[in-house]
Amino acid sequence: MSQPTMVEFDLDRYLRNSRKVDLSGIDWDQIPDHPLSDGDVMCLHYMMDIETHTVVYLRDLLATRVAADPQITAFLSCWVYEELWHGEAFSDFLRSYGIEVPAEPKLPDGSTPMPTRPSRWRQLRVRAGVGNGLGLVPTMLGSIITRDFAAIHMMWGAVNELTTLTGYHALIRRCDHPVLHQLLRKVIQDERRHFAFYRAQAKARMQRSRTARRLVRWVLSSLWTPVGASVKSEEEVDALAIYLFGDGPAGREQIREIDRTISEVPGLEGLTILEDYLDAALRRVAERPGWAGAGPMSDRAPTNGRAQAPSHWAKVGARED
């Protein structure tokens, strides 16, 4: 009988303290008093959609051999609940700001159904092919073929969580909205714990298996795509990456810090998958005028220091007064 994987994470403490994000202290009435750029609104829509879509990632995980691991399944039970409420928090923020497009019809008493925006989530999942079952086939086959398949999912999850929380830090850097800063810092606390679990699980598996190290490195180098790529178009992913990280040296350093953290996991030394993606996105902007809402490279750094907001989100960002 194989020994259980020992990880550097206090799972019992996490499970006992898990709850939906604490929004006490958020002054919702002040949200409309501070402006958001179109790029800020684009980021919030993207983040709202992806946080709420994580239940589909859970479905994929439970179709593999990780479903037999009690540590992972216990964590995932709390993780998906916390992620749901992150998406709801961003939805509430946008609504408080005055953005009701796209949104769900209000109930007769003026309230909004929970979870909010179910038609939006349904459309996103249909577009991504969720529900036909075919998306599970490669995952299930991979799980059957190799016993180290769990290491791939855990490291992929670690990269996603680290990218997400760093993206929230980048939005704090780019946006001047004080209430949004407060909300993002609350969500970041959860994301740090999520990243710590995924990283600990991946590290433990990769330390004990040379095959796992080689397999995970190949998958990240050859198949990895940014968080949200399965739901959003390539142009939308590029727009987010450029807005958050392509605006100058500060964004570039945040991207490099993600790569450095990934490189600390055994077998992943020297990987630069995040910076490589950002460079590719910037090349697409240079080659395709107007791509991702950005102008030519020479026009991407206005005198106010802010990169040009993606133009195809301009109408979404308009407040309803």
CB neighbours of residue 26 within 10 Å = 19
Enter the tokens of residue 300: 């991407």
DSSP 9: S
CB neighbours of residue 114 within 10 Å = 9
Separation CA 254–CA 61 (nearest Å): 29
pTM attached to this predicted model: 0.80
Enter the tokens of residue 214: 């080689």
**At residue 249, what is the residue type?**
P
Among candidate residues 286, 311, 306, the one with its CA nearest the CA of residue 296? 286
CA-CA-CA-CA dihedral for 159, 162, 168, 174, to nearest 10: -80
User: Tens digit of pLDDT per residue, the chain (321 long)?
Assistant: 344 455 679 999 999 999 999 999 999 999 999 999 888 988 998 998 888 878 777 777 777 777 788 999 999 999 999 999 999 999 899 989 988 655 444 444 555 555 555 555 555 545 545 443 434 434 544 444 456 788 988 999 999 999 999 999 999 999 999 999 999 999 999 999 999 999 999 999 999 999 999 999 999 999 999 998 877 889 989 999 999 999 899 999 999 999 999 999 999 999 999 999 999 999 999 998 878 875 433 333 333 434 444 444 443 333 444
Place of tokens 């679990």: 197
Among candidate residues 80, 61, 264, 214, the one with its CA nearest the CA of residue 150? 61
Separation CA 79–CA 263 (nearest Å): 25
Per-residue pLDDT reduced to its tens digit, 121-144: 555 545 545 443 434 434 544 444
Q: What is the mean pLDDT of the chain?
A: 80
